[in-house]
Structure 1
Amino acid sequence: MARLWSGFESAGLLGTAPLFVLQIALFFAGLILFAAALPRVRPVIAALAIDALLIPAEWLIVVIKDAQMIAALTAATGIVAAYKLRSRAVPAAAAGVVAVLLVYAVLLRANAVFGVVPLVCVWAGWGGLRHTAPRAALMLAGVLAVLAVSPPINHRLLGARPSHVERVLPLYDLAGIAHFGGIATLPGLPVARWREAEARGCYHVTMWDAYSDPAECGFVADAVGFDGDAGAGLFGDWARAVAAHPVAYARHRLGHFNMTMRWLVPFGQPRTVGPPDSQPNDVGIGRRADPLLKGIAVAANALAATPFGWPAVWLAASLGLWWTAAGTPRSGPRDMALALALSAAAMLLSFAVVSIASDLRYHLWAMVATTLGGVALSVAPGVPRRRMQGAFAAIALAAAAGVIARLLLTPGTW
């Protein structure tokens, strides 16, 4: 994104406008291509899809890598759908454009790989593999391959300077293990300083952010050598801590997964929708929101308080969609639904292991993919009624549990 932005600047296209136009154009072009390839969709399905896409669409007013990612993935999906929904092969030129969009999405966010690899596997026909185990192995190999080649591309080809952001996960997990396991301290941190961190409430199940703030708990990151050479040893410390304290690690991870899924939580979860006003900066970019943008943000924020804004409900929907599509006779719409369901579910489930914050923006693609997959399956022939009913039941149960939790839990509890 930084290299693309600098390219726009070099061409005389200044400010955030070029990236804003790009993400708006890609997102809505993908939706238009997808919709145009469908036979007539029932009004109730279209209305639900519009509601479900409001939160992702609201984030498109913010020039941020998450918005660029969902725009690129939606455009790629629309191009593929324009052919596959009509049971036609994707031409080489169109496939090339899709490849560029998918590579861009993967390089924007590290966790995009969990959503992109399933799309590629299904769209490419799984390489002739027919059984679940070989297909799962293929997806795992694809994820590992992308994770291996991404750093050289970023640092050598694109010239990115190391920020050590990859060390955030082991630092946050080590803090969680120490917090739940009653461990005296973290490697390199004096015992008294860890007690101080605990007394300050530095660890929180929602996010790691306190450890990045010098005014709060940055001394923890400094002590473990987060930005220095000693920080490279965090991964070894992490592996040993997980092996020695699996229960504490599981408590930390499950607690955080619940928070990032916004499931059994109180009302009023923060970090839901994009800010309508630009972030303060000293380079003169961005703008204050007009009444229209503020109105969109208010509507999206209200919707985020309902099951439409709870990733746990979207996880139930994506798994139900996958289960239903897997039992549906093969067709263009069915295959598209299966690809999108796997993409959404894999990305959501990845947060059980790799998440360090609970912002809703991390789940935008899962919302888009599940919505489009559901629309595609609604026009597929031979959808098994019992599987579909089971999927709706799972969604209803996930939503009901979330509602009950919000009624019982007081703000600030977790």
Structure 2
Amino acid sequence: MTRAFSHRLRIVIATLVLFALSMLIFAPGYLEYDSVGQYGQALSGRYDDWHPPVMARLWSLFVGHGAGPMLALQLAGWWLGLGGVAAAIVDRRPRAALMVLAIGLVPPWLGWQVTVLKDAQMTGAALAAVGIIGWWRLRERSVPPAAWVAAGLLLTYAALVRANAIFAIAPLVALLMPARWRSRIAIVIGLTLATLILSPVVNHRLLGAKDSGVARTQALYDLAGIAVRVGDDPRLGLSAAEIAEIAAKRCVKPFFWDPLGERTRCGTLLQRFEIMSPGRIYARLAPAIMHHPVAYAEQRLAHGNSTWRLWVPARWPSASPPEASEPNDLGLTQPGRVALTWQRMAGQWVDVPVMWPIVWVILSIGGLAVTRGRGLAGALFGSALGLEASFLVISVASDFRYHLWPVVACALGMVLAKPWRGDRRIVGATLGALGLVLLIGGIARATLPVPPQSYEGMLG
């Protein structure tokens, strides 16, 4: 037995142990409101597209077994990805291999990965694909066709299971290709457009999901955000009375779209838009942006600040992984006391910089610049940055779980590439920007009042 084989065997055993312990402690997984709704669809056989139906369809294969099989899938992807990368580098960089596995044990990150949600499903699938490719690439071997097929299937699922996941998957695929930058840019654009065009076809015709109106939310959120900033303008398609009431009721919140959709808050104000096609609403939003670019920029930057968690108070909600599953009458249970202890510990991390997405945005920019997009690390940085950049245009909520893949991808890239040893100017600029972010975020958390800690409180 060679030393390299011995080291890899230990990593494989450690990875299997970590997977087994994760299942033992966290089964059958935590479930939030969205999870329960998707399981209900799997039980009934009636699907809609509010959440990508591919997850509910997959779940329907395990009806009668609760959430456990879905938890097993996303944890298998999580540990397969990290274990594959760690095993590939352990003979040359044993400490780095241990750091790779340690990424999977960061309490709040694992706390979200054991929550049965589309975000964890995407992260598990994407990470498994990275582990498969990394097993060969990091040993400087060519990836066999069967491995590319397996990785391709996983990335296809990742792209379908989150509506905006393609902004992470397309850069990842493009940067893994041995091509020039022009070709890579063309790959990103082609994959993104193809996915945006074909996803509705797959969801509605192939997977049989009904239109839920989810495609209207982004346009209405930004249209209302522009309206409350500029006031009455007939070109917006909202009356002066509607705009005044939206403003008076504080229906537009940087934190999330929800007040505009909740009947008990502001949902009835926009009820007439429910009969409009998404295309007609976007046809109103486009000229609104052109005529009021400053108001649109304010709307998107306010939400960007909220979801990136820069100038926000301490305990900004929706960062802590759940400590209990959503109450339900579908027979879905929840993990035991050890898991609860872990989740409570993870909840103490919410104000630590590793839980600020803006920190990982800065590190991804620096990492991509240092690596020039080369290697597996460069692809991970590009993937993380692609998804984070999309939140400036396409995002209506500030939950940390939406950032799980970019955060983990960037952390993994930092271990693989050691970008802090790259170009001194880039490293210096990155550290300077990071220091400024930490200063601003620290002042905000020390001075701003703590927000409501419940959904109802944030809604009001």
Fold conserved (TM > 0.5)? Answer: yes
Contact 1:185 1:194 in 2 (8 A): no
After superposition, the Cα gap between the structure-2 partners of 1:412 and 1:276, relative to the gap in structure 1 and judged at 3 Å, is closer
Q: Is the 8 A contact 1:55 1:300 kept in 2?
A: yes
The Cα offsets for residues 187-207 of structure 1, whole Å up to 9 and x where unpaired, read as 665533432232121111111
The farther-off stretch of 38-47 and 244-253 is 38-47
AA paired with 1:163? Answer: S
Partners of 2:192 and 2:397 lie apart in 1 by: 21
Which of 253, 256, 264 aligns to 1:204? It is 253
In structure 2, C-alpha distance between the alignment counterparts of 1:76 and 1:286, rounded to whole Å: 30
Cα separation, 2, equivalents of 1:389 and 1:243: 37
Tell me, yes or no, if structure 1 residue 32 matches structure 2 residue 83: yes
Q: Which amino acid aligns with 1:202?
A: C
Partner of 2:39: none
1:277 lines up with 2:324 in the alignment = yes
Kindly indicate whether residue 263 of structure 2 is the aligned counterpart of residue 233 of structure 1.
no
Indicate whether 1:297 and 2:343 are aligned. Answer: yes
Q: Which of 357, 363, 377 is equivalent to 1:317?
A: 363
Structure 1 residues 31 and 215: alpha-carbon distance in aligned structure 2, compared to 1, 3 A threshold? same
Whole-Å Cα distance in 2 between the matches of residues 246 and 144 of structure 1?
Answer: 24
**CA distance 1:120–1:152, shift in 2 (3 Å):** same
Q: What does residue 352 of structure 1 align with?
A: 392
Secondary structure of the corresponding residue to residue 114 of structure 2:
coil
The secondary structure found in structure 2 opposite 1:354 is coil
For residues 345-371 of structure 1, give each alpha carbon's deviation from its aligned partner in whole angstroms, at most 9, with x where no partner exists.
111011000111111111000111001
Work out which of the residue numbers 61, 65, 72 in structure 2 matches 1:14: 65
Question: Structure 2 CA distance, aligned partners of 1:271 and 1:340?
Answer: 25
**Could you tell me which amino acid in structure 2 is paired with residue 234 of structure 1?**
I
**In structure 1, distance between residues paired with 2:83 and 2:107:** 15
- Check the 8 A contact 1:258/1:264 in 2, yes or no: yes
Q: Which residue of 2 aligns with 1:265?
A: 312
- The answer for the alignment partner of 2:59 in structure 1 is 5
Question: Residue 128 of structure 2 aligns with which residue?
Answer: 75
Write out aligned runs for 1:150-229 (5 A): 150-183=199-232, 189-223=238-272, 225-226=273-274, 228-229=275-276
Contact 2:232 2:243 in 1 (8 A): no
Quick one: structure 1 residues 246 and 35, their matched pair in 2 at CA, closer, same or farther if it must change by over 3 Å? Answer: same
Q: Give the 5 Å matches for 1:364-403.
A: 364-378=404-418, 383-403=422-442
Provide closer, same or farther for how the CA distance between residues 381 and 349 of structure 1 changes in structure 2, counting only shifts above 3 A. closer
Check if 1:256 corresponds to 2:303. Answer: yes
1:127-146 pair list within 5 angstroms:
128-129=179-180, 131=181, 135-146=184-195
Of 168, 173, 197, the residue aligned with 1:148 is 197
* Contact 1:15 1:285 survives alignment (8 Å): yes
Unmatched 5+ stretches in structure 1:
328-333
Specify whether residues 154 and 44 from structure 1 end up closer, same or farther in structure 2 by C-alpha distance, changes over 3 A only. closer
Question: 1:366-406: per-residue Cα shift (whole Å, max 9, x none)?
Answer: 1110011111113x998445533443333233222211222
In the superposition, relative to structure 1, how do residues 230 and 76 fare at CA in structure 2: closer, same or farther (>3 Å)?
A: closer
Whichever residue aligns with residue 122 of structure 1, its letter is: L
Per the alignment, do residues 204 and 382 of structure 1 end up closer, same or farther by CA in structure 2, a change over 3 Å counting? closer
Amino acid at match of 2:337: P
Which amino acid in structure 2 is aligned with residue 403 of structure 1? G
Match of 2:444 in 1: 405
Q: 1:124 and 2:174 equivalent?
A: no
Question: Cα 1:199–1:248, aligned 2, differ >3 Å: closer, same or farther?
Answer: same
Report SS of the residue matched to 1:42: helix
Contact 1:178 1:186 survives alignment (8 Å):
no
Specify the code of the residue in structure 2 equivalent to 1:303.
W
Partner Cα separation in structure 2 for residue 308 and residue 186 of structure 1: 43
1:261–1:311: 8 Å Cα contact kept in structure 2? yes
Unaligned runs of 5+ in 2: 1-54, 453-460
Per the alignment, residue 330 of structure 1 pairs with none
Match of 1:331 in 2: none
**Greater mean alpha carbon deviation, residues 182-191 or residues 271-280:** 182-191
Maintained 8 Å contact 2:307/2:399: yes
The Cα offsets for residues 37-93 of structure 1, whole Å up to 9 and x where unpaired, read as 113243798299538843221112211111111010111111111010011111111
Provide the rounded CA distance (Å) in 1 between the counterparts of 2:85 and 2:343: 25
| 8 Å Cα contact 1:177-1:241 kept in structure 2 | yes
Q: Please tell me whether the aligned partners of residues 219 and 282 of structure 2 are also in contact (alpha carbons under 8 angstroms).
A: yes
SS at 2:333's partner residue?
coil
TM-score, scaled to structure 1: 0.89
Q: What CA distance in whole angstroms lies between the structure 2 residues aligned with 1:361 and 1:371?
A: 15
Structure-2 separation of matches of 1:103 and 1:79? 15
Q: 1:389 to 1:190 in 2, by over 3 A?
A: closer
Structure 1 contact 45–375 (Cα < 8 Å) conserved:
no
Please tell me whether the aligned partners of residues 316 and 451 of structure 2 are also in contact (alpha carbons under 8 angstroms): no
